Amino acid sequence: MDSFWFVDWRLLMAAVELWLAGGNPYGPFVIPNSVAVAAGGYAYPPPTQILALPFALLPWLISGLLVQLVAIIGFERWARRTSGRTALPWLLLWLPFAQGLVIGQLTLLALVGLLLAEHAYSDRRDRLAGLLLALAIIKPQTTVLAVAWLLFVALRERRWVLLASFAGVSALLWGGILLISGPEIYLQWVQGLQAYREGRPDRPLLGLPLGPLLGLLAGLLWWRHGRSDGFGTLLLINTLIFPLSVVYIAIGVACVVIRWRPNWAWYPLAFSWLLPVVFTNPVRTADSIAGIVQAIIATALLAGLLPRLPFPLRRRPATPA
């Protein structure tokens, strides 16, 4: 269990330390608990090295807890403003959230940056919106289409301050790492991405075997609640078309459900924990991995489609005799 707890965060911290020592974070290396990491095991974009650098000064457990706490608080703040109710049950009831938090993933933090950027845009806090969009795009596989939508709308509305803020922060991050490490850091990243993809049976969520059913549920949710929401639509599409083999990377679906259906149902989320147990296949294949991931993601879409039940259950007051 110790090797699993915050493993992604420890991987990031080890990559930053290796980069500081002049090594290649996208090649093979060993993290502090003596776990060997193959080439491509670390695949975050190069600007992540700059952003994560201050956290390398802290013990990995403290820094990891701090980052996850920031992500949870930001998610809850966004959810309360968006839906008027807490979204903390998602973190416990829906397996992708819980898995991402346990291993120290940064997907939720990137999504929080994106979602708060959209709120800042609505509030006309353009400098903040541009800054948050530049940070959110650091994890492009979960945010790129929604970021592009907000930038397009800002361009159409001539929100030059937002665009300048986004361009300036992006130039500092992507250009800063280039000045520090030279162009080879980007070549190493491309090579790492190739190794990363070769080692994982990734396929889009809309692919076989259960992708058509997942697409039907997503289309029904969009038709009922999201037809006028370009930002949410592109966030949903971004999640459904990107190649995935792990469930935590698809938590953008939850954000869309909370955004479109404020009175989401809680009980379908609990089935996300039962599915891996009930449908465990002793022989892991690309189809079996994809199928279980797709089924787990479907529980979030069902939370946006099925009727709401009370939680927790309350007793009705006794009727006077």
What pLDDT, in 10s, does the model give residues 184-240?
Answer: 999 999 999 888 877 666 778 898 899 999 999 999 999 999 999 999 999 999 999
Residue 113 shares a structural domain with residue 231: no
What is the total count of domains within the chain? 2
- 318: in domain: no
What is the overall mean pLDDT for the chain? Answer: 91
Range 101-111 average pLDDT: 95
Both 268 and 283 in one domain: the answer is: yes
Q: Is residue 312 in a domain?
A: no
Residue 179 neighbours by CB under 8 Å, 6+ apart: none
From 198, 226, 253, the end of a domain falls on 198
Rounded to an integer, what distance in angstroms lies between the CA atom of residue 68 and that of residue 127?
25
Helix axes 252-260, 107-122, angle to 10 degrees: 40
How big is the CA angle at 203 (ends 202 and 209), to the nearest 5 degrees? 125
Q: Is the pLDDT of residue 288 over 90?
A: no
Residue 2 located in a structural domain: no
Mark whether 192 and 236 lie in a shared domain: no
Q: What residues contact residue 30 under an 8 Å CB cut-off, 6+ apart?
A: 14, 36, 37
- Nearest-angstrom CA–CA distance, 172 and 54: 16
What DSSP element (H or E) covers 36?
A: strand 36-37
Q: Please identify, among 198, 220, 251, the residue that sits at the C-terminal boundary of a domain.
A: 198
Same domain, 44 and 63: yes
Domain assignment present for 248? yes
Among left, alpha and beta (phi > 0; psi -120 to 50; other), residue 313 is: beta
pLDDT interval class at 1 (50, 70, 90): very low
Q: Are 204 and 240 in contact (CB under 8 A)?
A: yes
Question: Is it the case that residue 17 has pLDDT exceeding 80?
Answer: yes
Are residues 73 and 96 part of one domain?
Answer: yes
Do 207 and 187 have their domain in common? no
pTM for this prediction: 0.93
Looking at the structure, do residues 194 and 209 belong to the same domain, yes or no? no
308, part of any domain? no
Residue 262 sits at φ, ψ, to 5 deg, of: -55, -30
Write down which residue in 151, 183, 198 finishes a domain: 198
Long-range contacts at 196-201 (CB < 8 A, ≥ 24 apart): 196/40, 196/41, 196/43, 197/40, 197/243, 198/40, 199/38, 199/40, 200/245, 201/245, 201/285, 201/286, 201/289, 201/290
Rounded distance, CA 130 to CA 120, Å?
9
Separation of alpha carbons 28 and 38, rounded Å: 4
Same structural domain, 115 and 23: yes
297: left (phi over 0), alpha (psi -120 to 50) or beta: alpha
Q: What is the pLDDT of residue 249?
A: 86
Average pLDDT of the residues in 118-146: 96
Domain hosting residue 180, numbered range:
7-198
**The amino acid at 9:** W
Band of the pLDDT at 2, cuts 50, 70, 90? low
Q: Which of 97-101, 170-174, 244-248 has the lowest mean pLDDT?
A: 244-248
Does one domain contain both 180 and 207? no
